[in-house]
A and B are shown apart, each in its own frame.
Chain A
Amino acid sequence: MKSECPKCGKKLSIFYFKPKCPQCGCELAYYDMDKMLEEDAKKAEAEFAKLDAFIDKMTPKFIKKKMKKDMSDSK
C-alpha cells in the first residue's frame, strides 16, 4: 500500500483508486514493476529457504535417509 507516487512523490490518499498519478500521469501499479518483481522474488526465495530449513529440522532422520535413497535411485 504505497501512499505516494513512485515517480514524482506526490502524496496520495489511500482512497485514491485511479490507475494514474494525478500529477505526473504515470501508471501507479506498473511503474518500476521490474524492481518490485525482483524484490518479491528475492523475498519469496528467502521465505521458502527458511521454510525448507524448518521442514528439514522437523523431518525424522529415517525419512530423510529414505528420501536421499529415492533421489539417488531416480538419478
Chain B
Amino acid sequence: MNEGNALKRYVGVKETILYGVANGGQVIGYNMIRAQLTFFLVTVFGVPARAVTAMITVMGFWDAFNDPLMGGIVDKTRSRYGKLRPYLLIVPIPLGITTVLFFGGAEFLKGVESTTLKIVYMCITYFIWEFIYTIGDIPFWGLSAAISPNPVDRSRVIKSARFISGIIGGLPGIIITVCIDLSRNNIIPFTLSQVFLFLAVIGGTFGMFLFSLSGLCTKERIVQVNNDPKLLDCFKLLFKNKYLLLIVLSNILGTVGGIGGTFSTYFYTLSLGIASLSLVAGIPGTISGWVSYGLLSNLEQRFTSKQLIFGCSLSNALIGIITFLAGMNSYTNPKIIVPIIAVQGVFTSFIGSINAVVPTKMIADTVDYMEWKTGERSEGMSFSLLTFVGKLTGSLSTAIATAIIPLIGLQEVGQDMVLSSAGGINTKFWMWALITVIPPVASLISLIPYAFYDLTGDKLKNIQLELMQRREKSINANTLEKAEEV
C-alpha cells in the first residue's frame, strides 16, 4: 500500500526541519493579524467596527481573484533558483515591512483625529500585506510538491511544517494576550499601540528571517519542462485537473464541519459559566495532535491517502455521536462535561493532524497527475486553489454559524451573547449538539467526491514511476547535449 517506496529519498533531516521552522516564522505575523485584527483596529487604532467588517468582506472577494492570479504567475515563473524559490527569497523583506506598517499604524498616526485617514491607512496597509502574504504562501506550499519527486519526502516536510508552525505559531497569541493585560494594568509602561508596534517588529524581523530559510535552505528537485507557459493555459490546466477539483469540492462540502468553533465559546460561557475551562479541556488534545504527527508515517505505510480520509471522517462522526450521547443528560455540569470534551479532543486533534497533512499531500499527487497527463506542473495554481478555498470555507462557516445563532435562541445584546427567553427552545441542548455531533456528521457529505477519486494505490504509484523515467530521460538528453557541445 505504500505509495512511494520505489523512489529514493532526497530531502535530508536538516532541510525537513528548516522547512518547518520557516513555516513557523511565516505564521507569526499571520496569526497576529488573524487573531488580533478586529481588536487592534477597533480598540487600539480607533477605526469604527463597521468599517473593519466592510474591509474584511471586500478582501474576501478580492482573494477569489488574487489567489489564482498569483498561482498562475508562479506557474509562469522560471529562474535559476527554480520557479517557487525566487518568491521565498524575496517576499520576506516586504512582508516584514508591511507587517510593521500595519500594526504600527496606531503609533505612526498618533494624534491623528481623522477617522477617514485611519480607514484609508488601514485599507492600504492591509491590502498590501494580504497581497504580499499570498505571493509568499502559494510558493511555500507549492514547494512541498516540488522539493522532491518522492511522496514520502513531501509528506515529511508537510508534517514538519504543520507541527513546528503549530508550536511557534501559538506563541504570538499567548504573548499578545499577556502583553495586553500587562499594559492595561499599567504593569509595563507602554501603551497598547506601542505594544502592537513592538510585537510587529519582532514578527516582521525574527519571523521573516525564519521564513526566508524556506528559500535559502531548500531545493526544487523537479524539472519544469515547459519554458514559457501562458497565463491563460495555466488557468485552463486547473479545470483539466479533475482530481484537484474533487478535493476542492469535498472541502467546500465539508464547510459545516467548521461551525463548532463559534458555538464552543458561547457554550463555555453560557452553559458551563466559565470561559477559561475551554483551555483546560483542550490540553490533552494538543498533546495527542503532536503524537499524531509522529505516528502518521506508520499509518501512511499501511493505508492510502483516500483510505485515511475516509477513516478520519467516519471516526470523527462516530466520536461526535458517542460524545453527544455521553453528555446528553448533563451538558450544563462542568465536572462531567469538561472531561468528556477533553476525551473527544484527544481523538479529534489526532484526526485533525492527519487532516492537516494528507489532503495537502494529495494536492501534490494531483500536480504529478497533471504533469503525467499534459507535461506541465501546476504547483502554483493547485495550491492557490487550496488556500483560496480555505479562506472561502472559513467565511462560509462563520456565515452559517451566524445564521444559526437566532434559530437556537441566542441573542446578541451589545457586545455580549445572551440566552433569549422567548420561544421555548432548549438553547443549551442545541449548543451541546452543535459542538459535538452536528458538524462531524453533517460534513460526512464531503466524502461523496472522494468516491470518484481513484488517484491512489497502484495507479498513483505507476504514474509517479513513469514520471520518474520520463524525467530521467530529459535529464539524460540534457547530458547528451552537453557531451555533443564539448
Contact = CB atoms under 8 A, between A and B. Distances in A.
Interface of A: 1, 7, 12, 16-20, 26-34, 36-37, 40-41, 43-48, 50-51
B223 A47 contact: no
Given A30-B223, A43-B12, A48-B9, 10 more contacts: A17-B81, A19-B79, A34-B479, A36-B219, A37-B10, A40-B10, A40-B12, A44-B9, A44-B10, A45-B9
A30 B478 contact: yes
B204 to A, nearest CB: 23
B11 interface: yes
B242 interface: no
Q: Which 4 A-B residue pairings sit nearest by Cβ, starting from the closest? A: A28-B80, A47-B12, A44-B12, A47-B13
B14 A7 contact: no
A19 B78 CA distance: 6
Contacts of A44: 9-13
Contacts, number: 64
A16 B81 CA distance: 10
B421 to A, nearest CB: 58
Contact of B14 (A17, A20, A28, A47): A47
Of A18, A28, A32, A37, the most chain B CB neighbours within 10 A belong to A37
Nearest to B219: A40
Contacts of A30: 223, 475, 478
Interface string B441-480: 0000000000000000000000000000000100110110
Interface residues of B, number: 25
Contacts of A18: 79-80
A27 B223 CA distance: 10
B34 interface: no
A1 B86 CA distance: 12
Nearest to B225: A30
A12 B78 CA distance: 17
Contacts of A12: 80
Contact of B79 (A17, A41, A43): A17
B215 to A, nearest CB: 10
B80 A29 contact: yes
Given A33-B478, A44-B10, A17 B80 contact: yes
A34 to B, nearest CB: 5
B265 to A, nearest CB: 40
Contacts of A16: 80
A10 B223 CA distance: 23
A48 B80 contact: no
A30 B478 CA distance: 8
B246 interface: no
B182 interface: no
A57 B482 CA distance: 47
B13 to A, nearest CB: 4
Contacts of B11: 40, 44
Contacts of A45: 9
Nearest to B153: A44
A16 to B, nearest CB: 7
B76 interface: no
A5 B219 CA distance: 17
14 contacts: A26-B482, A29-B81, A29-B220, A31-B478, A32-B479, A33-B475, A33-B478, A34-B479, A41-B9, A41-B10, A44-B10, A47-B14, A50-B13, A51-B13
Contact of B8 (A19, A20, A41): A41
Contacts of B475: 30, 33-34
A33 B223 contact: yes
A21 to B, nearest CB: 8
